[in-house]
Copies of this chain bind each other. A is one copy, B any other.
Amino acid sequence: MQAAPKIAPFMPPRRILMGPGPSDVYPEVLLAQSRPTVGHLDPLFVAMMDELKALLQYAFQTQNEVTLAVSAPGSAGMETCFVNLVEPGEKVVVCRNGVFGERMRQNVERCGGVAVVVDFPWGAPVDPQVVEGVLKQHPDASYLAFVHAETSTGALSDAKTLCALAREHNCLSIVDAVTSLGGVELRVDEWGIDAIYSGSQKCLSCVPGLSPVSFSPRAVEKLKSRKTPVQSWFLDQTLVMGYWGGSGKRAYHHTAPVNALYALHESLRLLAEEGLENAWARHQHMHQLLKAGLEKLGLGFVVDEAYRLPQLNAVYIPEGVDDAAVRSQLLKGYNLEIGAGLGDLAGKAWRIGLMGYGARAENVAICLKALEEVLQ
């Protein structure tokens, strides 16, 4: 026998999470998650799932019947959208203005789709006029895919206009809302979004590991009329819908992550209690406080003010400052986590998150004071 390792219980420190996610989790959510596990087909759990669906529909502002949480993180939510919709040979116009647009391209190609990549500078939003030109050049495109809130740069794109363009050009829209859901205005039905995915660990302030998704009736129709099977068994929504589907009997597909779903239920419940519009306004208000302070410290934003996400503040690292050393000092000295730059911005920018429960005046104050002291 291989010997048993002797390991003590893990006691995590109490961090203040102001990076790109996971964000500070609501204490109520941690509590909800620790309640006793029940069976995933228990009638009381199934009733909880119905509530969860209603809460997700509210957060997304949609009546979409197929609205649920994928039992895996946001990257799996992204894959769920692409793998269920895109069939081999289908053309997808992919807007790329950061890490996650590039990941969309990879997903399209792994499904056998043809990606038409439209590039925008890092830190810039997706430009609808450019996209319109590309859609005109590719009348055979079936999808338009873009990131609503690019977590790698902090740029917000105009999802409403882009989705309207998709419809005009007979495309279904696939939208990454991992960082936007709950933090900025997002209206799935009004804007005509066809497939959307998010993450539990950003502005919902739930524990990481789940991905809310929603499919419009047009997307469901496409899914149901596929000519080829969905390549992923686990993510195949025609199977998953049997479990999350309408009222009545639920068919076993996979064992739901019961306790994580308790957590998501609670975080969405808190969002509904606050009200979506209030949450959006709170994120904006906290962003203004943080912005004023960061500017006083001489830190410049990566993204133009007009397209700046309140919940993800990418600022340039001042000349001569040691990126890793500062982040380490913040973590060790203040239990404060801010995010490193990603991709093109690695080593050049920090990403300061103000997401969900983390978008509070006390967090802004701690962050500004700690940065002031460390940068002195």
Give this chain's copy count. Answer: 2
Minimal beta-carbon separation of A27 from chain B (angstroms):
9
Query: Are B33's CB and A11's CB within 8 A?
Result: no
When the two chains form the complex, which single residue of B30, B37, B229 contacts A25, counting CB atoms closer than 8 Å?
A: B37
**A1-36, CB < 8 A from B:** 1-15, 17, 19, 21-22, 24-25, 28, 30-36
> Interface majority SS on A: helix, strand, loop or mixed?
loop
Residues of B within 8 A of A120 (CB): none
Minimal beta-carbon separation of A213 from chain B (angstroms):
13
Tell yes or no: A288 within 8 A of B by CB: no
When the two chains form the complex, which single residue of B12, B35, B44, B83 contacts A44, counting CB atoms closer than 8 Å?
A: B12
Query: Are B74's CB and A5's CB within 8 A?
Result: no
**A38-62, CB < 8 A from B:** 38-40, 42-45, 48, 51, 54-55, 57-58, 61-62
Tell yes or no: A86 within 8 A of B by CB: no
Query: Are B42's CB and A331's CB within 8 A?
Result: yes
Tell yes or no: A103 within 8 A of B by CB: yes
Residues of B within 8 A of A30 (CB): 34-37, 259
Residues of B within 8 A of A71 (CB): 72-73, 76, 209
Q: What 0/1 readout, one digit per residue, does chain A (102-114) give for beta carbons within 8 Å of chain B?
A: 0100110011000
Minimal beta-carbon separation of A23 from chain B (angstroms):
9
Tell yes or no: A265 within 8 A of B by CB: yes
Tell yes or no: A255 within 8 A of B by CB: yes
A110, A111, A254, most chain B CB atoms within 10 A: A254
When the two chains form the complex, which single residue of B35, B39, B62 contacts A17, counting CB atoms closer than 8 Å?
A: B39
* Interface residues in A, total, Cβ within 8 A: 94
Query: Are A260's CB and B209's CB within 8 A?
Result: yes
Tell yes or no: A87 within 8 A of B by CB: no
Tell yes or no: A182 within 8 A of B by CB: no
A78 to B234, CA, bound (A): 9
| Top 6 A-B residue pairs of the complex, sorted by shortest distance between their CB atoms | A209-B257, A34-B34, A72-B72, A4-B272, A75-B254, A207-B259
10 A-B residue pairs with Cβ-Cβ distance under 8 Å, sorted by A, are: A2-B58, A4-B58, A5-B272, A11-B35, A22-B40, A22-B255, A22-B258, A75-B255, A76-B254, A83-B232
Residues of A within 8 A of B (CB): 1-15, 17, 19, 21-22, 24-25, 28, 30-40, 42-45, 48, 51, 54-55, 57-58, 61-63, 71-76, 78-79, 83, 103, 106-107, 110-111, 189, 199, 201, 207-209, 229-234, 252-260, 262-263, 265-266, 269, 272-273, 275-277, 331, 337, 342
